[in-house]
Amino acid sequence: MDARLMPKEETYAQMVWRRFRHHKLAMISLGVLIVLYSMAILAPWVTPYHYDHMDFDKISQPPSLEHWFGTDRIGADLFSRVIWGSRISLSVGFAAAGIALVLGTVIGAISGYYGGVIDDILMRFTEIVASFPTMFLLLTVIAVLPRSVMNIMIVIGATSWPGLARLVRGQFLSLREQDYVEAARAIGATNTRIVFKHILLNTMAPIIVNASLRIGGAILTESGLSFLGLGVTTPPSWGTILNGGRPLLRSAPWITTIPGIFIFVTVLAFNYVGDGLRDALDPRATK
C-alpha cells in the first residue's frame, strides 16, 4: 500500500497545523474562541452575579465600572448574563453541529458508497427532511416536550444535516471509483474497512470545514428562534438576551449591541476557522 494514502496521524496533523498557522485571521479567531469557551466554562467564577440576580434600582443602566456591560430592563447585570448565556449559545452550536455532522456523514457515506436502491431511499429521505418546514417541526417539538436546551439542540441538529449528507455522498460517489479504492478492494478489504479507512479519510476535509461553519450556523438559528420567542431562557442564550433588548434598541442600545457583538464575533470566528481549515486540509494547496 502506498504510504501517502495512510499517513501517520502525527505527521498529517502537524502538516495541517503548520498550514493553519499561516492563516492569521483563523489563528486570531481560534484564540477568540478559546477565550470564549474558557469564559463559558468558568462562568460561575468570572461573573460577579448570578444570571437572574436583579436590582430594581439599577434598570437599563449603561456600561460602568460596576456593571461592565450595563444592566438590562429588569436590572440584571448584562456581563453576568452574557457570560452565562455563552454556555447556552456555544453548547447549542456545538451539539447541534455534532448531531448534524454524525447524521449527515453516516447517511451521506452509506448513500454514496452503496448507491442503487439504498442511495435512492436515503436521498429521498434526505429530501423529505430538507423540505420539512423547520419552524413547524420546532414548534411541534417544543410544544410536546418542555422547552429545554437539549430539545433545541436536537431539533436544530436534526434538521440541518441534509446539506452535509449531500456533500458527503457526492464525495463518496466520485471517490469510490478512484484507483486506490479499487486497489483496496482488490486486496480483499471488507466494505466497512474500505469505507471508513480510505474514503472517509479523504472526505474529512470538507466535512470538518462544513462542521465548523455549521456551529456558527446553529448559533444563528438559535438566535432566530429567540426572535420568535422560542429561544432558551434559563439561563438566557445570547439570542434571548438580544431579543429581550429589542424594545430598548434605541433607548438602551447596549442591551442589544453586546450580545449582538458576541454572536457575530463567534460566528465570524467559526467562519474564519473553517476558512483556515479549508486551506490547511486542502490536499492540492502548495503552501
179 binds another protein per the rule CB under 8 A? no
**Contact pick of 108, 235, 239, 276 for another protein (by CB under 8 A):** 239
Q: Evaluate whether 37 touches 77 at the Cβ level (below 8 Å).
A: no
Count residues binding another protein (CB under 8 A): 65
Residue 235: asked if its preceding bond is cis (omega within 30°), the reply is yes
Helix axes 254-281, 200-227, angle to 10 degrees: 170
Residue 243 has, within 13 A of its CA and on its CB side, a CA count of 19
Q: Is 12 in the site for another protein (CB under 8 A)?
A: no
Alpha carbon distance 131, 139 (integer Å) = 16
State which residue, 8 or 56, has the beta carbon closest to another protein.
56
Q: How many angstroms separate the most distant Cα atoms in the chain?
A: 77
Q: Which residues contact 180 (CB under 8 A, 6 or more apart)?
A: 2, 5, 198
Q: Which residues contact 10 (CB under 8 A, 6 or more apart)?
A: none
Residue 262 CA to residue 275 CA, distance in Å, equals: 20
Helix (H, G, I), strand (E, B) or coil at 247: helix
Shortest Cβ 83–another protein spacing (Å): 18
> Which residue in 27, 28, 32, 142 binds another protein (CB under 8 A)?
142
Cβ nearer to another protein, comparing 52 with 183: 52
Q: How far is the CB of 202 from another protein (least distance, A)?
A: 15
Burial of 119 (0-12, 13-18, 19+ CB in 10 A): middle
Q: Please tell me whether residue 137 binds another protein under the rule CB under 8 A.
A: yes
Please select the residue that binds another protein; options are 28, 32, 106, 173, rule is CB under 8 A: 173
We find the least distance from the C-beta atom of residue 131 to another protein, in angstroms, to be 3
- Of the candidates 6, 34, 74, 201, which one interacts with another protein according to CB under 8 A? 74
CA distance 151 to 156: 9
Site for another protein in 152-171 (CB under 8 A): none
146 touches another protein (CB under 8 A) = yes
Pick from 260, 276, 277, 281 the residue near another protein by CB under 8 A: 260
- Which residue is associated with the grid cell 446539506? 163
Residue 124 found at the interface with another protein (CB under 8 A): yes
Nearer to another protein, 88 or 197 (CB): 88
Residues that bind another protein (CB under 8 A): 25, 52, 54, 56, 59-60, 73-75, 115-116, 120, 124, 127-128, 130-133, 135-137, 139-140, 142-144, 146-147, 173-174, 216, 220, 223-224, 227-230, 233-234, 239, 242-244, 246-252, 256, 260, 263-268, 271-272, 275, 278, 284
